[in-house]
Amino acid sequence: MLDWMRARPIAHRGLHDSANGVFENTLSAARRAMDRQFHIEVDLHTSADGVPMVFHDFGLKRLTGASGSVRDRTAGELQDLAVGGADRIPTLRQLLDLIAGRVGLVLELKGVAGRDDGFVAAVAAELNRYDGPVAIMSFDDWLLTDARRDAPQLALGLTAEGDDKHYETHWRIARALDVDFVSYGIRDLPCRFVSEFRESGKPVITWTIRSPDDAQKSARYADQITFEGYDPDRT
């Protein structure tokens, strides 16, 4: 089911390059990744009116200059905010329409405990109309639990980091939800959890790979990289 994930590197938040006006989690960054046939990882939040939005931060300031939180504005209000100039904050639907199955998508759901009712269901509703390689993942076990309930057909991943003192916690979540892959922080590898998870035959991807040295380390302990800031095809 996830052979595509192993096949090509994954551009972290799209193939962004802010120095040249292409910012993370924008449609422009997604287009650049598609042009190179890289898979794409993006982050999702829910808007105030329950629309899945492509954006990383909980706050708007860093990328838009606006005050407040993503979750305190409607989708329409968020789409009016510029990200680095020409781009606007896209909805998940706009991203899916752009990609149209041409490369794989890894969607990281960003949660706020107690404020996520309906979030996963809204993501699942969009993906039910999408024909292309896609997987969802999260650090947040409540969102993973919702995903197994609301979207059991989707590939589900645990995003995680930490040394071996997190071993039991990570395995508890992975086993309870029968996750299909793991996305793990490169700085904490090797670790016992990842080594044992790979023995199951399910893929492990790493984040965030920013150099050939990082990529070489990842190749020893994982199956694919999520990268930014360098070109993995030219190393």
Residue 234, classed as helix, strand or coil, is helix
| Residue 72 belongs to some domain of the structure | no
In this prediction, residue 51 carries a pLDDT of 98
| Residue 75 belongs to some domain of the structure | no
| Residue 66 belongs to some domain of the structure | no
Report the chain's mean pLDDT, rounded to a whole number.
Answer: 97
> What is the CATH number for 116?
3.20.20.190
| Residue 82 belongs to some domain of the structure | no
Full residue range of the structural domain in which residue 208 is found: 3-42+101-234
CA 96 distance to own-chain centroid: 14
The number of domains in the chain is 1
Q: Could you identify the residue written with the tokens 């024909």? A: 131
| Residue 94 belongs to some domain of the structure | no
Instruction: Give 104-120 pLDDT, tens digit per residue.
Output: 999 999 999 999 999 99
pLDDT of 89 above 90: yes
Lowest mean pLDDT among 55-59, 83-87, 119-123: 83-87
Reference 120, options 144, 141, 96; nearest CA is 144
Beta bridge partners of 53: 45, 91
Tally DSSP H helices, then E strands, for the chain: 10, 11
In angstroms, the CA 156 to CA 9 distance is 18
In this prediction, residue 86 carries a pLDDT of 87
pTM: 0.98
In angstroms, the CA 145 to CA 174 distance is 11
